[in-house]
Protein backbone atom coordinates (compact mmCIF):
# COMPACT_ATOMS: atom_id res chain seq x y z
CA UNK A 1 0.00 0.00 0.00
CA UNK A 2 1.25 3.46 -0.92
CA UNK A 3 0.78 6.40 1.45
CA UNK A 4 1.58 10.13 1.37
CA UNK A 5 3.16 10.01 -2.09
CA UNK A 6 3.85 13.51 -3.41
CA UNK A 7 6.02 13.41 -6.49
CA UNK A 8 6.40 15.80 -9.42
CA UNK A 9 8.50 14.70 -12.41
CA UNK A 10 9.57 17.50 -14.79
CA UNK A 11 9.41 16.70 -18.49
CA UNK A 12 12.56 15.09 -19.85
CA UNK A 13 14.00 14.12 -16.46
CA UNK A 14 15.25 10.70 -15.37
CA UNK A 15 13.82 9.59 -12.04
CA UNK A 16 14.98 6.39 -10.32
CA UNK A 17 13.00 4.44 -7.72
CA UNK A 18 15.02 2.34 -5.29
CA UNK A 19 14.32 0.38 -2.14
CA UNK A 20 14.13 -3.12 -0.74
CA UNK A 21 11.79 -5.72 -2.20
CA UNK A 22 8.20 -4.85 -1.29
CA UNK A 23 8.93 -1.14 -0.82
CA UNK A 24 6.23 -0.18 -3.35
CA UNK A 25 8.32 0.72 -6.40
CA UNK A 26 6.44 -1.41 -8.94
CA UNK A 27 3.09 -0.51 -7.39
CA UNK A 28 3.89 3.16 -7.87
CA UNK A 29 4.80 2.89 -11.55
CA UNK A 30 1.83 0.58 -12.23
CA UNK A 31 -0.44 3.50 -11.35
CA UNK A 32 0.77 5.49 -14.37
CA UNK A 33 -0.70 3.25 -17.13
CA UNK A 34 -3.65 2.62 -14.78
CA UNK A 35 -3.00 -1.03 -14.12
CA UNK A 36 -4.44 0.13 -10.79
CA UNK A 37 -6.42 3.26 -9.92
CA UNK A 38 -5.68 5.47 -6.95
CA UNK A 39 -8.07 5.52 -3.97
CA UNK A 40 -7.21 9.08 -3.00
CA UNK A 41 -5.61 12.02 -4.76
CA UNK A 42 -4.76 11.98 -8.44
CA UNK A 43 -2.07 11.56 -11.05
CA UNK A 44 -1.69 14.28 -13.67
CA UNK A 45 0.10 14.52 -16.99
CA UNK A 46 0.49 18.10 -18.21
CA UNK A 47 -2.20 19.14 -15.73
CA UNK A 48 -4.77 16.57 -16.89
CA UNK A 49 -5.91 13.82 -14.51
CA UNK A 50 -5.07 10.47 -16.09
CA UNK A 51 -8.56 9.25 -15.12
CA UNK A 52 -9.86 11.54 -17.89
CA UNK A 53 -7.77 9.89 -20.61
CA UNK A 54 -9.07 7.03 -22.70
CA UNK A 55 -7.04 4.05 -21.57
CA UNK A 56 -5.66 3.44 -25.06
CA UNK A 57 -4.58 7.08 -25.40
CA UNK A 58 -2.96 7.09 -21.97
CA UNK A 59 -0.96 3.95 -22.61
CA UNK A 60 0.07 5.17 -26.06
CA UNK A 61 2.12 7.83 -24.28
CA UNK A 62 4.18 5.20 -22.48
CA UNK A 63 6.81 2.65 -23.33
CA UNK A 64 7.50 -0.09 -20.79
CA UNK A 65 10.57 -2.30 -20.60
CA UNK A 66 10.34 -4.78 -17.74
CA UNK A 67 12.52 -7.56 -16.33
CA UNK A 68 10.45 -10.15 -18.20
CA UNK A 69 10.47 -9.42 -21.93
CA UNK A 70 6.97 -9.63 -23.41
CA UNK A 71 7.41 -11.37 -26.75
CA UNK A 72 5.25 -13.53 -29.00
CA UNK A 73 5.62 -16.64 -31.15
CA UNK A 74 6.11 -14.59 -34.30
CA UNK A 75 8.85 -13.01 -36.39
CA UNK A 76 11.39 -10.57 -35.02
CA UNK A 77 9.92 -7.88 -37.25
CA UNK A 78 6.37 -8.37 -36.00
CA UNK A 79 7.52 -8.40 -32.40
CA UNK A 80 9.21 -5.02 -32.83
CA UNK A 81 6.25 -3.37 -34.59
CA UNK A 82 3.66 -4.95 -32.29
CA UNK A 83 0.77 -2.56 -31.69
CA UNK A 84 2.07 0.12 -34.07
CA UNK A 85 0.76 1.11 -37.47
CA UNK A 86 2.61 2.73 -40.32
CA UNK A 87 6.15 1.73 -39.35
CA UNK A 88 8.47 1.18 -42.32
CA UNK A 89 11.29 -1.35 -42.66
CA UNK A 90 13.74 1.54 -42.33
CA UNK A 91 12.06 2.64 -39.08
CA UNK A 92 12.31 -0.87 -37.66
CA UNK A 93 15.99 -1.26 -38.60
CA UNK A 94 16.84 2.14 -37.12
CA UNK A 95 15.13 1.17 -33.85
CA UNK A 96 16.99 -2.15 -33.81
CA UNK A 97 20.34 -0.44 -34.38
CA UNK A 98 19.71 1.98 -31.48
CA UNK A 99 18.85 -1.04 -29.30
CA UNK A 100 22.05 -2.87 -30.36
CA UNK A 101 19.85 -5.59 -31.86
CA UNK A 102 20.42 -5.28 -35.62
CA UNK A 103 23.64 -7.30 -35.77
CA UNK A 104 22.31 -10.34 -33.92
CA UNK A 105 19.06 -10.14 -35.89
CA UNK A 106 20.94 -10.28 -39.20
CA UNK A 107 22.92 -13.28 -37.89
CA UNK A 108 19.72 -15.32 -37.43
CA UNK A 109 18.51 -17.69 -40.16
CA UNK A 110 16.00 -15.33 -41.78
CA UNK A 111 16.96 -11.96 -40.33
CA UNK A 112 13.96 -9.88 -39.39
CA UNK A 113 11.64 -12.65 -40.61
CA UNK A 114 13.06 -15.22 -38.17
CA UNK A 115 10.47 -16.73 -35.83
CA UNK A 116 11.65 -16.39 -32.22
CA UNK A 117 9.43 -19.06 -30.64
CA UNK A 118 7.04 -18.82 -27.73
CA UNK A 119 8.05 -15.86 -25.51
CA UNK A 120 11.24 -15.52 -27.54
CA UNK A 121 12.53 -18.93 -26.46
CA UNK A 122 14.98 -19.10 -29.38
CA UNK A 123 16.82 -15.99 -28.14
CA UNK A 124 19.07 -15.28 -25.19
CA UNK A 125 17.92 -13.09 -22.32
CA UNK A 126 19.95 -10.14 -23.56
CA UNK A 127 18.62 -10.52 -27.09
CA UNK A 128 15.03 -10.64 -25.85
CA UNK A 129 15.53 -7.45 -23.86
CA UNK A 130 17.08 -5.67 -26.82
CA UNK A 131 14.03 -6.53 -28.93
CA UNK A 132 11.71 -5.00 -26.34
CA UNK A 133 13.95 -1.92 -26.27
CA UNK A 134 13.77 -1.73 -30.08
CA UNK A 135 9.98 -1.85 -29.77
CA UNK A 136 10.09 1.03 -27.30
CA UNK A 137 12.44 3.03 -29.55
CA UNK A 138 10.07 2.53 -32.48
CA UNK A 139 7.08 3.61 -30.39
CA UNK A 140 8.97 6.78 -29.37
CA UNK A 141 6.94 7.26 -26.16
CA UNK A 142 6.76 10.50 -24.20
CA UNK A 143 7.14 8.56 -20.94
CA UNK A 144 9.48 5.61 -20.52
CA UNK A 145 9.11 3.11 -17.67
CA UNK A 146 11.98 0.71 -16.98
CA UNK A 147 11.17 -1.93 -14.37
CA UNK A 148 14.45 -3.65 -13.39
CA UNK A 149 15.13 -4.14 -17.09
CA UNK A 150 18.67 -5.48 -16.64
CA UNK A 151 18.47 -7.36 -13.34
CA UNK A 152 18.25 -10.85 -14.89
CA UNK A 153 21.11 -10.44 -17.37
CA UNK A 154 24.74 -11.50 -17.33
CA UNK A 155 27.40 -8.77 -17.25
CA UNK A 156 28.07 -8.72 -21.02
CA UNK A 157 24.38 -8.57 -21.94
CA UNK A 158 23.74 -5.96 -19.24
CA UNK A 159 26.37 -3.64 -20.71
CA UNK A 160 24.78 -3.80 -24.17
CA UNK A 161 21.25 -3.41 -22.83
CA UNK A 162 22.26 -0.58 -20.48
CA UNK A 163 23.86 1.30 -23.37
CA UNK A 164 20.71 0.82 -25.45
CA UNK A 165 18.58 2.08 -22.56
CA UNK A 166 20.82 5.12 -22.19
CA UNK A 167 20.14 6.09 -25.80
CA UNK A 168 16.44 5.40 -25.36
CA UNK A 169 16.16 7.67 -22.31
CA UNK A 170 17.63 10.70 -24.03
CA UNK A 171 15.23 13.67 -24.17
CA UNK A 172 12.26 11.85 -22.68
CA UNK A 173 10.71 11.52 -19.24
CA UNK A 174 12.00 8.26 -17.76
CA UNK A 175 11.10 6.40 -14.58
CA UNK A 176 13.56 3.67 -13.69
CA UNK A 177 13.11 0.96 -11.08
CA UNK A 178 16.61 -0.20 -10.29
CA UNK A 179 17.91 -3.31 -8.58
CA UNK A 180 21.57 -2.60 -9.33
CA UNK A 181 22.19 0.88 -7.96
CA UNK A 182 25.25 1.31 -10.17
CA UNK A 183 22.91 1.65 -13.16
CA UNK A 184 21.06 4.73 -11.88
CA UNK A 185 23.81 6.99 -10.54
CA UNK A 186 23.25 9.35 -13.49
CA UNK A 187 19.54 9.88 -12.65
CA UNK A 188 18.38 13.47 -12.15
CA UNK A 189 16.66 12.41 -8.92
CA UNK A 190 16.65 9.17 -6.92
CA UNK A 191 13.55 8.34 -4.89
CA UNK A 192 14.14 5.96 -1.97
CA UNK A 193 11.06 4.00 -0.89
CA UNK A 194 10.32 1.90 2.16
CA UNK A 195 7.02 0.22 3.06
CA UNK A 196 4.99 2.33 0.63
CA UNK A 197 6.51 5.68 1.63
CA UNK A 198 9.12 7.97 0.12
CA UNK A 199 11.81 8.22 2.79
CA UNK A 200 14.61 10.01 0.88
CA UNK A 201 15.11 11.83 -2.39
CA UNK A 202 18.01 13.54 -4.11
CA UNK A 203 20.92 12.91 -6.46
CA UNK A 204 23.33 10.03 -5.95
CA UNK A 205 25.92 12.34 -4.40
CA UNK A 206 23.41 14.12 -2.18
CA UNK A 207 21.96 10.90 -0.81
CA UNK A 208 25.38 9.42 -0.09
CA UNK A 209 26.33 12.55 1.85
CA UNK A 210 23.23 12.19 4.05
CA UNK A 211 24.30 8.79 5.33
CA UNK A 212 20.74 7.44 5.38
CA UNK A 213 18.72 4.65 3.77
CA UNK A 214 20.29 5.05 0.31
CA UNK A 215 23.82 4.82 1.66
CA UNK A 216 22.88 1.58 3.43
CA UNK A 217 21.54 0.14 0.16
CA UNK A 218 24.74 1.12 -1.67
CA UNK A 219 26.91 -0.42 1.05
CA UNK A 220 24.94 -3.68 0.93
CA UNK A 221 25.62 -3.98 -2.82
CA UNK A 222 29.32 -3.26 -2.34
CA UNK A 223 29.88 -6.71 -0.80
C-alpha 81/C-alpha 61 separation (Å) is 16
CA distances from 107 to 23, 74, 115, 120, 151 (A): 41, 17, 13, 16, 26
pLDDT tens profile 66-105: 878 889 999 999 999 998 888 999 999 999 998 889 999 9
Do 51 and 37 contact (CB within 8 A), yes or no? Answer: yes
Identify the pLDDT of residue 167. 79
pTM: 0.85
Q: From CA 209, how far away is CA 218, in angstroms rounded?
A: 12
Judge whether residue 223 has pLDDT over 70. no
pLDDT at 181: 85
Tell me the average pLDDT across 113-133.
92
DSSP state of 196: T
Ranges 11-25, 98-112, 179-193: which has the least confidence: 179-193
What is the C-alpha to C-alpha distance for residues 207 and 97, in angstroms, rounded to an integer? Answer: 35
- What is the rounded average pLDDT of the residues 148-163? 74
Check residue 152 and give its pLDDT.
64
Report pLDDT digits (tens) over 182-208: 778 889 999 999 999 999 999 999 999
**Could you give all domains of the chain from N- to C-terminal order, each with its CATH number?**
1-61+142-223 (3.40.50.300), 69-140 (3.40.50.300)
> Confidence class of residue 163 from pLDDT cuts 50, 70 and 90?
confident
Amino acid sequence: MLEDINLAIPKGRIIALVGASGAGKSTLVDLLPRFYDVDKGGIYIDGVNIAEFRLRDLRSLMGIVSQEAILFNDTIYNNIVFGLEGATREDVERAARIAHAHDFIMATENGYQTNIGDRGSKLSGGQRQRLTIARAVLKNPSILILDEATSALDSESEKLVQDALYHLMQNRTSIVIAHRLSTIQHADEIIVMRKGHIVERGTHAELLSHGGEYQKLVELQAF
